[in-house]
Structure 1
Amino acid sequence: MTKRFATRSALAATMLLLVTPAIAAAQEDDGAPPPSKPGKPISAGEVLSGELNAMKIRDVKNAGKRVAMYQITSEPRRLPAPNGLCDLETGPETFQLVTSSDAQASQLKSFVGKEISVKVDEIACASDPGQMSEAVVTKWSLVKK
């Protein structure tokens, strides 16, 4: 039993010696970028551009049926008052596109993984626990490039 304890202790000490310099180097990283400035504002009527992502989520209103949720990943943007920065330092970077019809959903389906632009008509900070994005665009239209 003592031999087993000594072996485990030696192994733990060796691992600690190997890991400690890496942890110290990570903590002393002087090349860290300066704090980000808040993103530029976005309001109704403006264009939001970014990569379109799709995720499958369970719809609580539809007996747990899996539905597609679309999200744009963009540069940080500030929302109009009272939403402001959505309790984030730089503003939201992920924007959920709420589809109001099957036509809108099928329109987005062909652009998944690609860069798109949408004209924003209504936007707000995410407030429901099931939302995967930092902000929600409830009314929008696709902008042709």
Structure 2
Amino acid sequence: MTKRFATQLALVATMTMLVTPVFAAQQDDGAPPPSKPGKPINAGEVLSGALNAMKVRDVKNAGKRIAMYQITSEPRRLPAPNGLCNLETGPETFQLVPSGDAQAAQLKMFTGKEISIKVDEVACASDPGQMSEAVVTKWSLIKKQ
């Protein structure tokens, strides 16, 4: 019975050593405060970031694969009533909806690069299957000089 007691005691001691740092980390007052919401973005303002391209299936076109473009930027707040899009800091990924083939071709040239766009219309993502947190439906590309 003594061997069994010693084995159980060793197991409890080992578990205590493993669990104690977890509790200490949870009680650490030096943890950074939650991030502040991003600065607001309104119609006519500039949004900059890395342009990504993804292939998604178009629900409206019998599952045909189409290109979707997305800007990854700093967190931004959207104008009311969208606010923070149910996120703590605001959306960081913005889907760009091309208004035609010309805008789609324009975006294709800049895939993987930093771009800037002038936002005319933006809203939180609401449709199932959208890969971004917010959707920019009207925009224009800003040429770098």
What are the Cα deviations for residues 41-93 of structure 1, in whole angstroms up to 9, with x where unaligned? 00000000000000000001111110000000000000000000000000000
Aligned residues: 131
Unmatched 5+ stretches in structure 1: 1-12
1:117 has 2:112 as partner = no
What are the Cα deviations for residues 116-143 of structure 1, in whole angstroms up to 9, with x where unaligned? 0000000000000111000000000000
| CA–CA distance in structure 2, aligned partners of residues 130 and 103 of structure 1 | 25
Listed as ranges, the matches of 1:9-24 within 5 Å are: none
| CA–CA distance in structure 1, aligned partners of residues 52 and 25 of structure 2 | 32
| Aligned amino acid, residue 32 of structure 2 | P
* Cα distance, 1:34 vs structure 2: 2.1
* Root-mean-square deviation (Å): 2.1
* CA 1:80–1:30: 2 relative to 1, 3 Å: same
* CA 1:97–1:28: 2 relative to 1, 3 Å: same
Residue in 2 that maps onto 1:135? 134
Q: Percent identity?
A: 82
Kindly name which structure, 1 or 2, has the bigger radius of gyration based on alpha carbons.
2
Residue in 2 that maps onto 1:58? 57
TM-score, normalization by structure 2: 0.80
* Cα distance, 1:33 vs structure 2: 3.0
* CA 1:80–1:66: 2 relative to 1, 3 Å: same
Unmatched 5+ stretches in structure 2: 1-10
